[in-house]
Structure 1
Amino acid sequence: MYVFGDSLVDVAEKVGVPVPPPYLSLLSEYRNNTVKFQTGVNFDSAGHSVTDKLLPKSIFAIINGSNHIYTFAKSSNLRSIATPTKYVKSKANELAKPTEVVNKAVLIYFQNISMRVGALGCTPWQRVESESEECDVELNIMSHMYHYALTSHLKELQSNLKDFHYYTFNA
């Protein structure tokens, strides 16, 4: 689920899903052995006390870019508009802009981010699509270009935000 601006609780309320009670409101029931957790519990109560402690110590894995690259590879229309290099750079630029805005706003939560697009041309699905069942070299090159462009943006972001750290891995 993608949530922009609203919390999951806000989204749940809008679609009519009952919201679990705040954890701290259940303490007296817990002490009396009458608390029921079957319907869930909201640990993000009391001014985000749990969130503020746990999220800065968390690592967020963000794997992005593969759908864009696959779409480009399959679309003769996109290929007529842009070269693979130009397309990959534009998609990396699109991701870098909101990443910088988000991280300036909530840096405390995003101190460690992992990002990487793996060798898309060697995925089982892609190899089955190929008559020779070999890796698609062009997709692998685009994956590498995307990773390089995104890493450049992340390095720049790290130089601007002192507590921002990122790591890359093959997804």
Structure 2
Amino acid sequence: MVGREKEIKIVIGAGEYNNNPGWVHSQEEELNLINETTWDRMFPHNSITAILAEHVWEHLTFEEGVQAAKNCYKYLKTGGYVRCAVPDGYFPDEEYQNIVKIGGPGPKDHPAASHKIVHNYRTLSNMFEAAGYEVTLLEYCDEEGNFHFNEWHAKDGVIFRSKKFDPRNQGDKLLFPSLIIDAMKP
């Protein structure tokens, strides 16, 4: 398009999923959230419009999470955002909490085996706010386990493990929700 910059939108830790066609899909080996050298190789500062991370930040300690958010901040344009989804520490289901707990429920090759934190809406918001972002809660449970949903759009990044898109969560019963935020660089 004439007179319009190409938007750069990336998915961190994309795995085998391609829920966001047209986005740059990355793996930890090529784009590591806490290793700025990997970012410098791929992107100039202030060049990225959107970053999507679905079930990635729980594999970082709180301190690593703040550092990762700061790294993303350097590469986001003003008005750019991180859409981040993690397991929800306030979701009131014992089986779910056992699956997402620190260290995971089973063998070393289970995805949750490397979980270092189970976030709730306060810890995740605080982490991104500490890095300078303005946070909007999209899907989350509060301290009493009540689920809250604020409308969000797939064009801004699809989170599969959500009330909106996960077939396990259709109807009135949630089986596997995520805590989802948008963290915007002001």
Structure 1-normalised TM-score?
Answer: 0.35
Flag the structure with higher helix content. 1
Whose strand proportion is higher, 1 or 2?
A: 2
The structure that has the greater radius of gyration is 1
TM-score (norm 2): 0.33
